[in-house]
Structures are given as C-alpha cells and as structure tokens.
Amino acid sequence: MEKDGHWLVGSGYGYGYPVGGSGLGYGFPMSGYLPATATGYQNARPGYEIRILVASAHVLARHGQQQPCEDVLATTRTIYNLYVTDLRGEGARTVDMPGWRQQQIAAAQPVISNAASFRSDELLGTEVLTPRNEKLGSVDDIVMSPQTGRIAYLVIARGGIFGIDEKYVPVPWDDFKASPNASLFVLDTTKVAMNEAPQVSHDQFTAAGHFEQERQKVDVYWKAHLSDKGNE
C-alpha cells in the first residue's frame, strides 16, 4: 500500500487515504472529508477496514495460527484491490512517499520539547527512521517508568513478519524526535548501532524487578550510540 502511494506512514485519521483523495491524512493539506455514502461505503471506509484486518492478522500470527492469518491477509488483499480501483476511478492522486518522508524528517522535533500529548494509538506501529531516511523498525510497545508514571522507553520491533522472529530493542523516549502528527519518529543513530543494541523479550520490561535491571544497561548503551549524545 505504501509503495502504491495510498498509505501514509503511521496510524490515525488519515490511515489508508491518498493525498488529495477521499478523507483526511497526515503530512499534507487534504481535501474535505467525504461522507462514507459519497462513494458507496455504508459502514467503514476501506482504509480503516484494511487497518483492522492487518492488525487481526498480526494477532493470529503471534498465536501461531498460520492458516487463519493467511485467510485474513487474502481477504485484505481483495479489499485493497477493490479500494484502489475505486480511488483510481475518482481520479485520486498518489503521494511521493520518499519526498513525504524527507519533509517529515526535516520537520521532526524532540518529543521532550513537544507541547502536544501523544495517544498510544499514535505511537504503536509508527515507523522509526534515521535522519538519513534509513528504516530502523517500528514502535511495538511503550514502557512507563514505575517511579514517574511517564513514558520511559519505546520498544522498537525489527525484522520478522507479523511478530514472528522479531527483535525488540528498547530506546529511551527522550532520545526520539517526532514528525508533525507523530506520523513517524526519528532516532539519530545508525542501523549498525541498532543491530548491536541491547534487546529484550516481548514482555521483559513488564516482569517485576526487570525495569531497573534493563534500564541501566539500555541507558548506558544509548548514551554512547546516539549521534547527538556522542559529542557530549
């Protein structure tokens, strides 16, 4: 979907909508929202339906239910193909994804200086890039500090397919920059540093006593492997 230019990175109100097409989206001024009945969709618009199906396939894969997962993905492809046909019929133009990313990276600001609050659904699944537009992974989980009750880390999922064989790398929240509307996150490091970073199991931070143990190791590593901190 992203390659076709119909899916802007990140979740939210514009999920699955093309630039200048039907509905709202991230990163660019959009046309006004069209009621679902305007294009024949009586219930949910396909962009949201596809989002839910992809999330469902992810859950099935995590539980080892391969055939149901494949069935859901097959349904998703069918809906997507019909959706694209409708979009082309409406004359909707696609987005230049590389150009859009570069604009978002350039506009990203440190999360600690952002006056806006973040919702969990804005964070989870959001792509993480380097300032050079290299993909590092996507946000899989949020870790809260038991002392402050605030976000302490984002756990970045890397590799794998739908949660299978993924690696999980915690990174301090304060080290991220967020693009407008949190459509993507920027981390000033390298793919090599991310490959060698401390990893955790999917639920490791949630176990009693593990937070402090993991925190010290993670903080020391990232203090030495973030470009802007390496010069401190």
Q: Is the pTM of this model over 0.75?
A: no
Q: Which two tokens stand for residue 130?
A: 């380097």
pLDDT at residue number 83:
80
Q: Which domains does the chain have, with CATH numbers?
A: 1-95 (no CATH), 98-225 (2.30.30.240)
Distance CA 101, CA 200 (A): 29
Alpha-carbon distances, residue 174 vs 71, 84, 158, 177, 205 (angstroms): 40, 39, 20, 8, 18
Nearest of 56, 60, 62, 69 to residue 168 by alpha carbon: 62
Contact between 194 and 136 (Cβ < 8 Å): yes
Q: Per residue of the chain (232 residues), what is the pLDDT tens digit?
A: 556 655 544 443 344 444 344 443 333 333 333 333 444 544 456 766 777 787 788 778 777 888 998 999 999 899 888 888 877 787 777 767 778 788 889 999 999 886 667 888 778 878 899 999 999 998 888 888 878 888 999 999 887 665 567 788 999 999 999 988 788 899 999 999 999 999 887 665 655 556 677 788 899 999 998 876 544 4
